[in-house]
Amino acid sequence: MSLIHPSAVIEDGAILGANVSVGPFAYIGSKVKIGDNTTVASHAVIEGKTTIGKGNRIFSHSAVGTIPQDLKFDGEDVELIIGDNNTIREFTLLNPGTKGGGSITKIGDGNLLMGYVHLGHDVILGDHCILANGATLAGHVELGDHVVIGGLTPVHQFVHIGDYAMIGGASALSQDIPPFCLAEGNRAVLRGLNLTGMRRHIEREEINALKSAYRELFEEGNPLQEVAQKLLESTQSDKVTRLCQFIKSSKRGIPFTRVK
C-alpha cells in the first residue's frame, strides 16, 4: 500500500526518503528534502528550501519553511534545516532564515514543538528542547540543549537561552537566560536554578557547584561581571565555567533582582 495519499501534492524535485508517509491534502514543495521514516500528516504545508531529517513527525496544519515574516525579505536563497526525531505538532509555524541573519534557521534533534509554536527567522534550536503550546520565538533567538519554554511565552528577538534552562509559562522574556537557570514572570527574571531538569542529567557534585555559584552571582549583591570573572579563574567545575562564560558573553543582559 502506498504511503502517499492520492490527494497529497508533491512538486517535482522534492526528495522523499524511504518509508516517508504523506497524509491527505498535504503539500510538499519542489525544494524540500525529507529523510527516512518521517510522517507528514494531513493538510501540512512544507515548502521553500527545507531539509528535514529522519524519524520526524509533522502533524496536521503545520506550516514548515514558509517565507520569513520579515519585511526586508526579498526572495533571497534562504533555508530551514530540521534534524532527526522531532515532533512538530498542529499549527506550528517554522520560518527559514534571512540574508541579514545568516540565511538559515536550524532545529536540532529530539525536540517537541507543541501546538501553535512559532520559530521565527534565523532561530537556532538545540537538541531535546520542549516548547509548550503557543510559545513564540522571534527572529535570531538561540536556544541550547534541553531547554523548556512554558506555554504562551513570547521570546524577544536576539535573546539567547542556555542549556537546561527553563522559562515558566505565560512569561515574557526580553533578556538572556543563562544555562541551568529558571526564569518566569512578565518581564521574566531569574528565580533560581532549574533543579528538576538538572537532576535528570547532571551529577550531584556539579549541581552543588552550580548552587554555590548561583548564590555568589545573583544573591550576594556584588557586580555580576566581576563575580563571573572571579569564578572563571577559580572554579574546577565545567558547568560553572559554562554558566560564567555565558554571562560574560551576554549582549542583552541577564534579568535578575539585585540585592539592595
In DSSP notation, 149-197 reads E-TT-EE-TT-EE-TT-EE-TT-BB-S-B-TTEEEEEBTEEEEEE-HHH
Choosing from 83, 108, 126, 139, the catalytic residue is 139
Parallel, antiparallel or unpaired: strands 50-52 and 33-34: parallel
Is 139 catalytic? The answer is yes
Q: Are 115 and 98 in contact (CB under 8 A)?
A: no
| CA 106 centroid distance within chain | 9
What is the maximum alpha-carbon separation in the chain? 69
What is d(CA 166, CA 178) in angstroms, rounded to the nearest whole number?
10
What is d(CA 172, CA 199) in angstroms, rounded to the nearest whole number?
26
Choosing from 70, 109, 122, 163, the catalytic residue is 122
- Give the residue among 10, 57, 50 at the shortest CA–CA distance from 32: 50
Helix (H), strand (E) at residue 226: helix 224-234
Is 121 catalytic? The answer is yes
Choosing from 118, 121, 146, 160, the catalytic residue is 121
Is 17 catalytic? The answer is no
Q: Which residues are catalytic?
A: 121-122, 139
